Amino acid sequence: MKKLALHWQILIGMAAGVVFALLMTNFSWGAEFIGDWIKPFGNIFINALKLIAVPLILASLIKGISDLKDISKLSKMGTRTIAIYIVTTVIAVSIGLGMVNLIKPGNAISEDTRNELITSYEGDASVRIADAAKQKEAGPLQALEDIVPSNIFAAAGDNANMLQVIFFAIFFGIGLILIPEETAKPVKAFFDGFNEVILKLIDIIMLAAPYGVFALLAALVVESPSADLFQALALYAVTVLAGLILMIGVYLLIVWIFTGRNPAFFENGIAPAQLLAFSTSSSAATLPVTMERVEEHLGVEEEVASFVLPIGATINMDGTSLYQAVAAVFIAQAFGMDLTFGAQLGIIATATLASIGSAAVPGAGMVMLVIVLAQAGIPEAGLALIFAVDRPLDMCRTSVNVTGDAAVSMIVAKSVDRLGEPHAKEWDDNLKKTGS
């Protein structure tokens, strides 16, 4: 019997998690049961994914760069990647601004609701504002300074330092290209083998994905706040969602135009990563799966995927920047402020930079939103307005972030002639020994 495609298995897991949690809420002990006995399995699943992110970046990027054999190819790929990432982010922010100006969700918020939301979420908002203040104190070149680690083990010891690990891997890969081939051979062979092992580990972890997402969604449902305040924010949520859906349309279109691959091909290939991003709210945790799907199911060669995707997971967050644009203008509208055209252009610039600076973890986009608000002169306290619906929107925007990285990797691959045919492995074969 043919096994159900992975994305269907994950979707069933997600739906079952939601239904299970809704049933459990009928019992007084239901939420506690899920917290004690179900949620830990979701955490174990996310931890397992995060566990392999750093070794995966190291092994695949070093292998990928050294396979390029030529530094000029690297700089060509690097400039294209960064340029396309910036273009897609600007498109995303513009879509967000267009949507929020069209729908005007902030005007639907009455003063009473506004005050109620602010008092309910004041505390949560001030934590985010304090987090953002720490980041704001940094000088203009701090971000650049932070890319170069002073100790690789310290860098690899913290998943928040992904860019530092990427820097080291690229640097190491360049060294490997420049030394004589004979000397480089054993080092390359080591990383080749290491990389294969990590890819296998991803396969094994993905066998647990339907159960992992079951646990994650069940825990989310019992932890979500009451639905009353959701209603007031429905129009705002719809605005963000409409923008995100439009952005997915943009990706499908540009992939089609630039690579000739049709939307169904792209969606079939990337769907499991999208669903996982949705369930975990973290592009970093999803990265191993994004890489595997893009290479094996979308046909992007490893040299490109291993370079474009880890960088994308950290700096390319189109969903996040779109959300930041909508949220900033929504808060301004709710406070009765009129934003000038100039102020909105400023939002494009800061939301683009803020999404680059956001960490690829749950809720990071909201911290950086504080900076967008401050720059546009919108009251930071307004953050409390959007708190109630932030988690579900985080899930959706993370899914878009991951889709954007995958789309750009295909376009870059095509432009450097590294887009081949998919070579998907059978998921059922995962635990069998391959290649013997």
Closest contact distance (angstroms) between CB of 213 and ligand ASP is 16
> Which residue among 9, 161, 274, 282 contacts ligand ASP (CB under 6 A)?
282
CA distance 232 to 235: 7
For position 81 contacting ligand ASP by CB under 6 A, the verdict is no
Q: Burial, 131: exposed, middle or buried (Cβ in 10 Å; 0-12, 13-18, 19+)? A: middle
Binders in 320-379 for ligand ASP, by CB under 6 A: 320, 358, 360-365
DSSP letter assigned to residue 37:
I
Long-range contacts of 36-39 (CB under 8 A, 24+ apart): 38/214, 38/215, 38/218, 38/219, 39/215, 39/216, 39/218, 39/219
The two tokens of residue 392 are 């579900």
3-state SS, residue 419 = strand
Closest contact distance (angstroms) between CB of 22 and ligand ASP is 25
Q: Which stretch binds ligand ASP (CB under 6 A): 82-90, 267-275, 277-285, 422-430?
A: 277-285
Binders in 41-80 for ligand ASP, by CB under 6 A: none
81 or 401: CB nearest ligand ASP? 401
130 or 431: CB nearest ligand ASP? 130
CA distance 296 to 332: 45
> Which residue among 292, 295, 394, 405 contacts ligand ASP (CB under 6 A)?
394
DSSP letter assigned to residue 300:
B
Q: Total residues contacting ligand ASP (rule CB under 6 A)? A: 16
283 or 306: CB nearest ligand ASP? 283
Long-range contacts of 266-269 (CB under 8 A, 24+ apart): 266/298, 266/406, 266/407, 266/410, 268/5, 268/7, 268/297, 269/293, 269/294, 269/297, 269/298, 269/406, 269/422
> Which residue among 401, 413, 418, 419 contacts ligand ASP (CB under 6 A)?
401
For position 281 contacting ligand ASP by CB under 6 A, the verdict is yes
31 or 246: CB nearest ligand ASP? 246
315 or 419: CB nearest ligand ASP? 315
Closest contact distance (angstroms) between CB of 167 and ligand ASP is 20
Give the residue from 291, 219, 217 showing the smallest Cα distance to 10: 217
Residue of minimal Cβ distance to ligand ASP: 365
Residues at the site binding ligand ASP, with contacts judged by CB under 6 A: 281-283, 317, 320, 358, 360-365, 394, 397-398, 401
